[in-house]
Amino acid sequence: MLDKLLSEIREAREVLRGVAHRTPLSSSMTFSQMTGAEVYLKLENLQKTGAFKLRGAYYALWRRLKEGPVPLCVTASSGNHGQGVAYASSALGVKSLVVMPIYTPFYKVQSVRGYGAEVLLYGETYDDAYSKAVEIAEEKGAFFIHPFNDEHVIAGQGTIGFEILEDLLDVDVVVVPVGGGGLISGIAAAVKGLRGDRVKVIGVQPRGAPALYKSYKEGKLVTVEKVQTIADGVIVKRPGDLTLKLISELVDDMVLVDDPEIARAMFLLLERAKLVAEPAGALSVAALLSGAVEARGKKVVAVISGGNVDMALLSRIVERSLYLEGRQAKIRGVLPDRPGELKKVVDVIAEHRLNIVHIEHERGNPLINPGYAGVIIGIEVPNIEAVKEVLAKLKEKGIEFELVSPHE
Q: Which residues are identified as catalytic?
A: 53, 305
- For residues 207 and 258, is the Cβ–Cβ distance under 8 A? yes
- H/E stretch holding 331 reads strand 328-336
Q: Angle 241-250/151-167 helices, nearest 10 degrees?
A: 30
Integer Rg of the chain from CA: 25
Q: Give the separation between CA 308 and CA 298, rounded to whole angstroms.
A: 30
State residue 168 phi and psi, 5-degree precision. Answer: -150, 80
At 18, is the secondary structure helix, strand, or coil?
coil
Number of H helices, E strands in the chain: 15, 14
Give 389's Cβ-side CA count (13 Å radius): 14
- For residues 216 and 248, is the Cβ–Cβ distance under 8 A? yes
Q: Do β-strands 355-362 and 401-403 pair in parallel, antiparallel, or remain unpaired?
A: unpaired
Residue ranges of E strands in 44-154: 73-76, 96-100, 118-121, 143-144
Per-residue CA distances from 274 to 45, 112, 267 (Å): 12, 26, 10
